[in-house]
Amino acid sequence: MTVIEPDTGAEKGGNIISLRGENFKPFHPEMGQLDITNSTYCYFVALGQYRAATVYNTTRASCKAPESYYFKETAVEITLNAEDRTDDGNLYHYYKPPFLFDAEPNQGPTKGGTKTKIVGSNFTDTGNITCRFGDKTVPATRLSSSEITCVSPPTDKPGEVDLVIQIFAGLDSASVSFLYYKAAEVKNVSPSCGPISGFTQLAV
């Protein structure tokens, strides 16, 4: 086995990981050869746990990661007979997923440019944190393990979008709502001048 994708997942487990390598499917049941479907597993070494694997072809398989609240990383191997395993040492990493409490402010104009502070927990400093407003991703600045800031991108139309962050690329947090609204425009001010003493009533 040569590659695990993704190689990082939340400690609660449950995400599908893809394994790539060679000779995952040495037999062809459709040709009357041995069927090893029910004896092919991923083995999470540090956890001592097997998980059923789905083999797609001789170079690709997948399985579901188990939960791990203690071990932060484990080698993942594959076995075709529930006994003999590979020994390639490819590591899978667990992380505590970020949790979002709120966005301040949680609304801004469709032209974008609103500096938004996101409050939550478990904002690990990975050096590559991003925010996604709907389908548009922007870089984020980490202030602490519980606060980050990012600037809302422009959007074509007003409405509510999901705001999520990614601590690790491709792994979304839970979402909070961000509302885009059409910004007000000032077209005319009357009168256009007044005394320096002030108190001139204006119509906008």
In DSSP notation, 170-204 reads: T-B---EEEEEEPPP-----BSS---TT-----B-
- Number of Cβ within 10 Å of residue 3's Cβ equals 13
- Residue identified by tokens 């519980």 is 146
Mean pLDDT score, 191-203: 74
pLDDT tens-digit map of 98-120: 899 999 999 999 999 999 999 99
pLDDT tens-digit map of 2-45: 899 889 888 888 889 999 998 888 767 666 666 777 889 999 99
Q: How confident is residue 83, by pLDDT bands cut at 50, 70 and 90?
A: confident
Half-sphere exposure of 73 (CA within 13 A, CB side): 9
Residue 187 pLDDT: 74
Question: Which segments of the chain belong to CATH 2.60.40.10?
Answer: 3-95, 99-181
pTM: 0.66
What CATH superfamily classification does 99-181 receive? Immunoglobulins (2.60.40.10)
- Number of Cβ within 10 Å of residue 95's Cβ equals 17
Residue 183 pLDDT: 80
Share of the chain above pLDDT 70, in %: 95
The two tokens of residue 168 are 């690790």
Residue 44 pLDDT: 95
What CATH superfamily classification does 3-95 receive? Immunoglobulins (2.60.40.10)
